[in-house]
Amino acid sequence: MTTVEIDIETARREFRDQLIEAGLLIPMGIDGLFGRGAVFENVIDGIDVAVRRKGQAVHGDSATVLRFPPLFSREAFEGTDYIASFPNLTGSVSTFTGGDREHRDLLEDRAAGNGWDHHLHPAGTMLVSAACHPSYSTLDPQLPPDGRLLDVYGYCFRHEPAIDPARMQAFRMHEYVRVGTPEQAIEHREKWIGHGLEVLAALGLDAEPVAANDPFFGRAGRMLAANQHAENLKTELVIRLYGDLTDGTAVVSSNCHQDHFGTTFTLRTADGEVAHSACVGFGMERIALALFRTHGLDPATWPVSVRAAMTA
């Protein structure tokens, strides 16, 4: 590692240790998985107040609220194409499907101190990778004239264990999702860049919009990433959690999926065209970390305006 890489890793480790020391995060013995203490959860709830306040100001009561468990069917997962683009981040659920004989084999391996995971088989469920993913297969494929607007909030899983507390394996995302015409999708993506910045500003956070691409896997993925960049489909709102040591941490992401989900989930606009979609996602844990980093570890000492923005 270079000295800069060592400095970055040290800064991340120190921040993680401070959060644990303060009881905000509870280590679970594996990188990137944490329990949350009461103060941390209160902050998450406060951030959600600010997010929903903006959602209400922008969309009124037009958003359909949908909440999903952190699992969904492999069939719906299949429609997201996530396994093609991000196999390395994917999580699937396995369970035991054998009989007595297979159980005996499992117990033998376990008693011998061997791994036993290979005795398990796919359960037909996958962990949710992005909060909006379970929503598409639940929509009536024939959209109403105005399309659909969804308010989705839930836990996401990405297998990328790290020292950096801002790169958790399990975290929450609050999304506003637009499904409709190409124009509606583009407008949603673009407008929420500004709305997202306003939410962060109300929380006293200094963020800047950056054109971005997803970390698509492998050689084919580099093409997808280049296209996403060239077509201006993804903008991240980035906060410098570690000063100039890194390029910053994305806390909000505003994306246009074009006709990707419309095609795979056979969603049609009122005119019979393939639906386009876009979503803005607020990374709740990352925003919380930015608040602790910016305003200190004790929310009672945060600026009055910030606390007001987090109070319903």
Q: At what angle do helices 182-202 and 38-59 cross, to 10 degrees?
A: 130
Q: Which residues of 79-94 are buried (b: 16+ CB within 10 A; e: fewer)?
A: bbebbebbeebbbeee
Per-residue mark of binding to Zn ion, 167-206 (x: CB under 5 A): --------x-------------------------------
Per-residue mark of binding to Zn ion, 112-131 (x: CB under 5 A): ------------------x-
Minimum CB distance to Zn ion smaller for 24 or for 139: 139
Minimum CB distance to Zn ion smaller for 91 or for 204: 91
Q: Which of residues 24-83 bind Zn ion (CB under 5 A)?
A: none
Minimum CB distance to Zn ion smaller for 130 or for 143: 130
Of 238, 246, 252, the closest CA to residue 284 belongs to: 252
Residue 241 interacting with Zn ion (CB under 5 A): no
Query: Least separation, in Å, of the C-beta of 296 and Zn ion?
Result: 31
Minimum CB distance to Zn ion smaller for 37 or for 209: 209
Site residue total, Zn ion (CB under 5 A): 4
Spatial separation of the C-alpha atoms in residues 183 and 185, rounded to whole Å: 5
Minimum CB distance to Zn ion smaller for 228 or for 309: 228
User: Cα 44 from chain centroid?
Assistant: 14
22, two tokens: 């303060």
Spatial separation of the C-alpha atoms in residues 205 and 199, rounded to whole Å: 9
Residue 132 interacting with Zn ion (CB under 5 A): yes
Q: Which residues of 202-222 are buried (b: 16+ CB within 10 A; e: fewer)?
A: bbbbebeeeebbbebbeeebe
Q: Which residues bind Zn ion (CB under 5 A)?
A: 130, 132, 175, 279
